[in-house]
Amino acid sequence: MTVSSFGDELRRRRILSGLSLTELATRTGYSKSHLSKIESGRQQPTPGLARRCDAALKAEGGLIALAAMPVSSRSNDAATPPFGPEWAIRFTADGDGGFGTNMPDDSIRLRLKAVPGYLEAPGDVEAQSALLDATMRLGQTTSPAAVLPVAIAQVHTLRAALPLTRGRSRAALLRLAARTAEFTGWMAQEVGDDNAALWWTDRAVELAVEGEDHELAEYADVRRALVTLYEGQPGATVRLAARVRAAHDLSPRVRWLAALREAQGYALAGENNRCAAALDHADILWERAGREGVVDTSRPLGTSVSVDLMNHLIRGWCLHDLGRPEEAAELFDRSSPATAAGPSRRSRVRFAVRQALALADSGATTQACAVVAGVLHEIRIVDSATVRTDLKSFVSLIRRRRAHSAVAELWSELPSLLEPR
């Protein structure tokens, strides 16, 4: 058993008991910072600490036994990972860079240098475009931490090619780099770093402006509005989204996305009439997009969820935030077969958790727990910070119902889902 195993078990039992670190510190007489180091595995538990935590959490000797295991029997002590303990990649604005390892007996230093003609042929741009498509598909199905290194490296590759490229190839590279940076910002938000998400969104705007991609430059405010939405800032969400929705020089699709986000902001503020008006406006904008034949199906901005389905899902989302969980749960239930059949695991998990939240809020505890139980594995795979925000609300809601059989059965699975992998 490892030191971190004690920490993992301590955290698991603390969360199951509904205690914060501060509350556990008060009960045990140890500082919050010290307990945090124990939970993270940065310090070893002493027998005295183990006894106090065991008593405070009613572990019946379980924590004491973990702490008593000798260091020599710990199976997962730090070992040198494959290919060396650390890899480092360095990027510079002029296209140069490098790769290195910190292996004590065999350090590697590989220099990377851009050359004239780099990514100049049209086929090169097409290959980079295909790579972005593949990376975005990966972003629909797995952890953002696995996707970000690929996305960041691709932005660098495209950025480095710009000083060495002219004409149409340069314009295409700028637009592609902007789109890749925008996607990187989304993955940064999904990994839980809002500051990085906004930084990448700003870089996307810079590239889009230079590449004359007006749509993406303006759509960035819809992305920023998603950050403020999850931060619980309805006013900022509405302000950002409404500006884009009202921009008549933008495509109906981008304005449709903005109207949906605006509706979410109004719902968060409890403004029922304005939310309904924004949702109706979204419907009108999408109908207009269909009539004008300007729907971009190659790599559209925003969601990969089909339009009709997205309209229903966001309406359900808004109904829940407006305090109408029964209506929201009904909408989510009608939409769930189509959501489950879609290609995006991330969207499937997101709206399943929203459905569970609406069900739990409406008193349908058994059904709510069944929905979450059905996507436990996928929640772990996508490792989404925004999904965890809603999952924490779900856990908070059902905590007081732990005597319920469905909650009791699910409860032990939840603590591990509330922390990033």
H-helix or E-strand spanning residue 278? helix 272-292
Q: Which of 73, 97, 129 is a domain's end point?
A: 73
Does residue 20 share a domain with residue 66?
Answer: yes
CB atoms inside a 10 Å sphere around CB 276: 17
Residue 46 carries which DSSP code? P
Q: Is residue 187 part of a domain?
A: no
- 109 part of a folded domain: yes
10, 68: one domain: yes
pLDDT at 100 (0 to 100): 75
Examine the domain organization and report whether 29 and 69 are in the same domain.
yes
pLDDT band at 319 (very low <50, low <70, confident <90, very high): very high
- Among 73, 105, 130, the domain boundary falls at 73
DSSP string covering 110-127, please? EEE---TTTT-SHHHHHH
Q: What confidence score (pLDDT) does residue 3 get?
A: 44
User: 62 and 107, same structural domain?
Assistant: no
% of the chain at pLDDT higher than 90: 55
Residues 11 and 66 in one domain: yes
Residue 236 belongs to a domain: no
- Whether residue 343 lies inside any domain: the answer is no
Highest mean pLDDT of the ranges 162-171, 226-235, 292-301: 226-235
* Integer Cα distance of 278 and 395 in angstroms: 30
| Same domain assignment for residues 56 and 10 | yes
Query: Does 14 lie in the same domain as 49?
Result: yes
**Of 68, 13, 20, 26, the residue nearest 44 (C-alpha):** 68
* Sheet-wide strand order for 109-112: 87-91, 97-101, 109-112
CATH number for 26: 1.10.260.40
Phi, psi of 412 (to 5 degrees): -65, -20
Q: Is 303 within a domain?
A: no
pLDDT of 167: 80
Task: Looking at the structure, tell me whether residues 65 and 90 fall in a common domain.
Answer: no
Sign of the torsion formed by the C-alpha atoms of 46, 52, 56 and 57 = positive
Rank 238-242, 297-301, 333-337 by mean pLDDT and report only the highest: 238-242
Residue 15, sorted as left (phi over 0), alpha (psi -120 to 50) or beta, turns out to be alpha
Q: Answer yes or no: is pLDDT of 334 > 70.
A: yes
In a domain, 55, yes or no: yes
**Is the pLDDT at 396 greater than 80, yes or no?**
yes
- 30-39, 291-300, 405-414: segment of lowest average pLDDT: 291-300
Q: Which tokens is 339 given?
A: 């959501």
Closest C-alpha to 285, from 315, 241, 248 = 248
Has residue 44 been placed in a domain? Answer: yes
pTM of the model: 0.78
pLDDT band at 76 (very low <50, low <70, confident <90, very high): very low
Q: Are residues 47 and 13 in the same domain?
A: yes
Q: How many domains, the chain?
A: 2
Q: What's the confidence (pLDDT) of residue 74? A: 43
Q: Are 140 and 347 in contact (CB under 8 A)?
A: yes
Q: Are 143 and 421 in contact (CB under 8 A)?
A: yes
Span 192-226, pLDDT tens digits? 999 999 999 999 999 999 999 999 999 999 999 99
Tell me, yes or no, whether 58 and 108 share the same domain: no
Task: Please tell me the distance from the alpha carbon of residue 67 to that of residue 47, in angstroms, as a whole number.
Answer: 7
Q: Are 19 and 39 in contact (CB under 8 A)?
A: no
Give a yes or no: residue 355 inside a domain: no
CA 10 and chain centroid, separation: 26
Give me the domain span that covers residue 18: 3-73
